[in-house]
Structure 1
Amino acid sequence: MFDIGASELLMIAVVAIVVIGPKDMPAALRTAGRWIAKARKMSSHFRTGLDAMIREAEMEDLEKKWKEQNAKIMALYPEGGPAGTEQTGAYPAAPAPTAAAAPAAAPAPTPAITAPAAADAPKQDG
């Protein structure tokens, strides 16, 4: 950004010593440091606010796209959305458990494995 070499810094130091004087140089450097710190702080604050505004604009854009996609999906289902959804496109709430919940039913019995038919059985020499 700024291209300041060693010779330029030396020239600035010599001019500062001549103009300000060696006695007041520490106070002048301290004051310059404070100004630089304030400038950096203001720059950081401005950048943070700008980043927040950009994030907010992106979120609004994403929300708008989401609503458009949701409207397209809901348009495909004229009776109010896919089975089990409400008009808003949100998933239905889970049913609340009842106070007298029935015990879990036993699983259905699995079919027994039967032996192969005689025609399918391997032939034995005997």
Structure 2
Amino acid sequence: MAEDERFLPAQAPIDAVLDGGFRFGEMSHQGSLIGLPGRTQAWTPKGTAFEISAQDLAPVLEMAEVVDILLIGTGADIAVLPQSTLDTLRGAGLACEVSATRAAVRTYNVLLSEDRRVAAALMALT
């Protein structure tokens, strides 16, 4: 099974940010992660945080009708996304907040606990 095909069939809060991965849903995952309504799955962005593209965020864009806000965790530090990526997200009706991964996880967990329509694309800490 390809890495991006592995998933948990639920949107799970993140229990811990680990070096190189995450703990959630009574399991751990090495690598980046994306949380969507109805699933939590491996995420493999093609470049650095500064290079995150609309193609990298295709799983979120495919669910834009059921997501109001996208949180993007860019690793240990905050990064500025390409304007073209931000324009695509905005065009799909998604509000986007970019922060360091640990901060994005905290916000994601709060919004999930409030039953908000949220997605998160979280780069692993390296």
- For normalisation by structure 2, the TM-score amounts to 0.18
Give the number of the structure whose residues are more often helix, by fraction. Answer: 1
More contact order relative to length (CA 8 Å, sep ≥ 6): 2
Q: Which has the larger radius of gyration?
A: 1
Compare the two structures and name the one with the higher strand fraction: 2
TM-score (norm 1): 0.18
